[in-house]
Structure 1
Amino acid sequence: MSARKPRDKGEERNRIPHRANALVAIVGKPNVGKSALFNRLVGRRQAIVHDEPGVTRDRHYAEAWSLGRRYTVVDTGGFDPESDDPMRQGISRQVQVAIEQADLIILVMDGVQGPTEADRRAVGLLRRSDRPVLFIANKVDSEKSVLDANELFELGIDSLISVSALHGRGFHELEDALVQALPAVEEPTDSQVEDVIRVAVVGRPNAGKSSLINRLAGEDRVLVDSRPGTTRDPVDTLLQRDGKQFLFVDTAGIRRKSRVVKERDTVEVVSVLRAMRAMEEAEIVVLMCDAALGVAEQDAKILGLAEQRGRAVVVALNKMDQLTRPQLADAEKKAKEKLSFAPWIPYVPTSALTGRGTQALLRKIVAIRDNFYRRVPTAELNRFFDSVLQTHPPPTQGGKAPRLYYVTQAETAPPHFVVMSNAPESIHFSYQRYVKNQLRGAFDFEGVPVRVAYRARRRRED
């Protein structure tokens, strides 16, 4: 195996979060079973697997374990460097980036089909990459197909592992070879472990989500195309700014469910579910809206999904470069009217094309993440609560005078407060809203959904 080239600091900065892990890249031509192999190694259905060629378009990272060794595996799009399709050419560039970042490469070929010109070009490219390579013949489900797969030796390779990603055949041999080929990696010290801010970038199709992440990362990390819905799976990008690490997840554009179901596009449906799950796994949700087109009903629904999941939210009004200053102010005003059910969210005008506003967006993400984890000391919280009760006590409801005894913060991320009362069912919803707004104003919970629950407790005897 060839010696490794040293990476410069810029390359390290753009690596994935598990930097103590070796990185294993799965490459190959379209529809040879790369995603199925990825899922088998990872142990769960992480990448979309579908019989439509070219379903995987970007790089997808996940942590995997083999024989007690932890590593990170990346699934790539189908590699076809001589294609005239702009999307296919873009995927080939993505594969080359994955190869440059990888510690070990797995080249997947179709063991039934036999060697093709695309396989030959891939082998030639990998020989020039100065990376260790495992050559895999997939779809080998029988002894006869093992003989068929041996035709791949015509490509001039020295070794070949025959597997069936679908049924698990040959995976013990694959994992043995994989672990032996992995470079020795030191575990990070405590001082090297950094706190990563997890951000899901969501929005309608073609709102500029991928362009924003590429602008921030400084590379063509996510394929950008004029076709709506280019991104299908959530795609992870790690970047570091001003001593902070951000893990951005670009998600499929969320369309209305009725439209998705009517089209019967299985991949689209699964992609939307993945985008929703990405929101659940994130701390911060960046809702990308097209400022030039204006905020639509679907944007409000996406915001509602994020709020239901208790996520901190910032709205990025993208494409500000297409608007004059008065037009931008009007766009922000209309956006706030459309999303008035969540008056706590901040708005940041941005242009993924020019980069304007992107640093302000990062600063806002850091600020609302602090709010997301803010814990108010109990003594300070109850001093605030006493002043609220003195200024505006709860009104009588149904002849009952509800008493509020004290408040405590039960959780953070998002902040969850519990108010103890003798009659929680008698507290009018308008007063509950008043208490929540007072909490926001007193302790700066901008960008964060605040939860307040009322619990029954009998009055203590004096």
Structure 2
Amino acid sequence: MKKIAIIGRPNVGKSSLFNRLIKKRDAITAEIAGTTRDVKRRTVTFIDREAMLLDTGGLDKGCELFDKIKEMSLKAAYSADIILYMVDGKSIPEDEDKKLFYELQSMGKDMALVVNKIDNDKMKENLWDYYEFGTGDIFGISVAHNRNTVELLEWIASKIPDSDIIKEDEELDEDDDITIIEPELDDEEFFANKTEHDEDDDGYTYWDEDEMDGVVVDDTIFGNNDRIKEFDEEDLNHIKIAIIGRTNVGKSSLLNALLGEERSVVSSVAGTTIDPIDETVEYQGKQLTFVDTAGLRRRGRILGIEKYALMRTTEMLDNSNMALIVLDASEPFLDLDEKIAGLVDSNRLSCIIVLNKWDISKREEHDKIIKEVRDRFKFLAYAPIITLSAKSHLRVDKLHDMILEINENYSQRIPTSKINEVIEKALRRHTLPSVSGQVIRIYYGTQYETRPPKIAIIMNKPSGLHFTYRRYLTNKMREAFNFTGTPVLFKAKKRGEK
């Protein structure tokens, strides 16, 4: 499959073009330079041919972060088969653009100069200035107004070989409307649906269990115990893994270490990752899709485009079935770490706690650090802990096998007979307490959903299943079956109740 890279300086409309071509708002767009930092990849259909489209960061220089973004973008351009070099038609040609254009052109790749922001007929005159680039493949378009894009699409399709023509039943509808969705929420509107809460002197936001129940972020309801994401049980070979944590704990470094290549921009600048970046690898017959999410900050420090990054992170969690909670083992843990882990628990994901930067932590305090993690994250007592270093790749190789094992636990279906053996033994040891003099009976239990395992307890009075007895049953199930790394959920029901 051919690779098409959209290259250019910051704020010329690369991500907007990317969104329009893939027909949805995937890449975050803003007027802030450096919004796109990592390379985003999606499969796109041009007329009747498929190709891989790459959205890259702006080619700028100055600080460490921008230098790394430029390096990653140029690497994508060198690996691409077709290059769309994008410029801002509202300004005069930049010498730096010419230099980069000639450098990429010398590689002998198919290359077009895309002059964006030609919003009306009068602005077409600006195109003449860009003919000095010396290419005949020049296209004056307006992504925002969807003007003059047909010729560009036809040119791209002409550069994709016949072998990449898609089957007839996969062709796009000619009437499909390609639109772009611009951000509409300001800071006040974004947080309008969140519950009121207090803020301690250290500036961190704290929620207790009651406050977390019903909190809404981007249509995701946290704390709703019966809200379980349904996955295709036949697709057990595809594991979607979100890498989550606060800023600067090493999430992007971990993604690169897991992939064995520099896929995500890494720098000392807090909040380097904005758009979630996903990459799929195959391991022992399984597809592992890792998603590097934006680092989460305390609410008072979420600025500008970071609010959209938070929305994307919650969306990724909602669509994942496993989370790697990354903690910085070289620094004291923060209450914010607990709140982030709470999002994973609320989404009922399988989970691994990753203690990163172990190579620079105080290893002699191993037991003390592990105990602190267990004390702080009691609600994730089922999650295994792995100590590693993403930078030096210490023990990163063990993480792949751990992911496969936990996916098996998360996806397993326990026979009804085995479940009832455990319930019967549990009842013999501790009977259910009566409620208002009424005897509470459990008739039987059966698993009716996986990912995570969800068990229905059929009773004469479902409200009589106290949370302490529910916890007791959970512990007995964990003793009988391997549920390491996965939550186990119970649903009390009456006979015949769906």
Q: TM-score, normalised by structure 2?
A: 0.81
Q: 1:458 to 1:215 in 2, by over 3 A?
A: closer
Match of 1:4 in 2: none
C-alpha deviations, 1:383-436, integer Å up to 9, x for none? 333333333332212211111111121211111111111100112110011112
* Equivalent residues in 2 for 1:3-402, closer than 5 Å: 21-80=1-60, 83-183=61-161, 184-185=163-164, 195-260=237-302, 265-402=303-440
Q: Which whole-Å CA distance do the structure 2 matches of 1:181 and 1:455 have between them?
A: 60
- Amino acid aligned to 2:164: V
Q: 1:374 to 1:150 in 2, by over 3 A?
A: farther
| Conserved 8 A contact 2:84-2:111 | yes
Match of 1:437 in 2: 475
Instruction: Give the superposition deviation at 1:239.
Output: 3.4
Instruction: Give the superposition deviation at 1:105.
Output: 2.0
Question: Per the alignment, in what secondary structure is the counterpart of residue 137 of structure 2?
Answer: coil
Q: 1:150 to 1:420 in 2, by over 3 A?
A: farther
Unaligned runs of 5+ in 2: 168-234
Q: Which whole-Å CA distance do the structure 2 matches of 1:349 and 1:234 have between them?
A: 24
Root mean square deviation of aligned Cα: 2.2
| Conserved 8 A contact 1:105-1:133 | yes
Q: Which whole-Å CA distance do the structure 2 matches of 1:102 and 1:312 have between them?
A: 36
Instruction: Give the superposition deviation at 1:129.
Output: 3.1
* Sequence identity (%): 33
Instruction: Give the superposition deviation at 1:211.
Output: 1.4
| Conserved 8 A contact 2:65-2:272 | no
Q: Which whole-Å CA distance do the structure 2 matches of 1:394 and 1:430 have between them?
A: 10
Q: May I ask how many residue pairs the two structures share in their alignment?
A: 429
| Conserved 8 A contact 1:316-1:361 | no
- Amino acid aligned to 2:299: K
Instruction: Give the superposition deviation at 1:145.
Output: 1.4
Q: TM-score, normalised by structure 1?
A: 0.87
Instruction: Give the superposition deviation at 1:155.
Output: 0.4
| Conserved 8 A contact 1:110-1:137 | yes
Q: Which whole-Å CA distance do the structure 1 matches of 2:119 and 2:450 have between them?
A: 51
Unaligned runs of 5+ in 1: 1-20
Question: Per the alignment, in what secondary structure is the counterpart of residue 71 of structure 1?
Answer: strand
Q: Which whole-Å CA distance do the structure 2 matches of 1:122 and 1:415 have between them?
A: 54
Q: 1:23 to 1:416 in 2, by over 3 A?
A: farther
Q: Which whole-Å CA distance do the structure 2 matches of 1:383 and 1:22 have between them?
A: 56
Q: 1:155 to 1:363 in 2, by over 3 A?
A: same
Instruction: Give the superposition deviation at 1:241.
Output: 4.3
C-alpha deviations, 1:17-44, integer Å up to 9, x for none? xxxx543211111110101111111222
Question: Per the alignment, in what secondary structure is the counterpart of residue 86 of structure 2?
Answer: strand
Alignment partner of 1:420 is 2:458: yes
Question: Per the alignment, in what secondary structure is the counterpart of residue 266 of structure 1?
Answer: coil
| Conserved 8 A contact 1:397-1:428 | no
| Conserved 8 A contact 2:250-2:326 | yes
Instruction: Give the superposition deviation at 1:69.
Output: 3.6
